[in-house]
Amino acid sequence: MRIGFIGAGSMVAAIARGAVAAGMNASDFLFTDAHGVHAPALAEELGGEVARSNGSLAHRADLLVLGVKPHAQRAVIERIAHIVRERPDMCVVSLAAGRTLDAILADFGAAVPLIRVMPNVNAQIGQSMSGICAVNASEEQIQAVERLMNAVGRSVRIQEKDFPVFSALAGCSPAWVFQIIDALARAGVKHGLPKDTAVAIAAQALSGSANLVADARSRGVVPAQLIDQVTSPGGTTIAGLLAAEAHGLSTSLVAAVDAAVERDAELS
């Protein structure tokens, strides 16, 4: 399967590198970018090919990944829409945040196979959580996109109406987690640790905890049960947890999700 990437920024680079690392054949990858700089460099690095133009790429790709910024996507589509309409077996994949399936289909002027994907920043280390929804696409095409995105983390199929909350939980939350790590590290500094050491400790603790939650979920164990496992009666963990709750830990995180969902509605 030929996969064509229009745009070669950091997210496309992360996806392409992850796919190659997962065993996909880089010689099946085609790249273009607006300035002719990043695509040639990425193609040379991975062993892919630079297409002569977006139109040439659209003629040859089986999966066409639109990796350009949301504000630039419509102009890119306008120049290749006639080619895509003539290739009903090709599937278009959009990485553009905030652009709905209906809006993208309107740009193409036809009911083309289309899959909307929302990865997150952790794709650059192979730990993305990606949301996927599709229209007019076959199961085979959806599975091909899942394989591509699972090469840089995990993916989940969702309905498009759930993209705002998915964006909050997966797209926005890394920034909130970074803030939590930094806050924990500052607390470590308060009690005598060097900042870099405190960051390393907090980051590994959160990373390990997230992996434990994922592993426990496969066994039907929920986070609340894990909390019970590490809170001894009268111990330090329950003292800290109750203090954090008294200062709004859970309510502040719910409020963050609410604010992100509300802002998404304002921007749509």
The annotation places the binding site at 6-11, 54
Residues paired with 153 in a beta bridge: 128
- Which residues are documented as binding site for NADPH? 54
- Separation of alpha carbons 223 and 216, rounded Å: 8
- Which residues are documented as binding site for NADP(+)? 6-11
Q: Which residues of 2-25 are buried (b: 16+ CB within 10 A; e: fewer)?
A: bbbbbbbbebbbbbbbbbbeeebe
- Separation of alpha carbons 56 and 27, rounded Å: 16
Q: 153 in helix, strand or coil?
A: strand
Helix-helix angle 236-246:249-267, to 10 degrees: 40
Candidates 103, 101, 124; CA nearest to 114 is 101
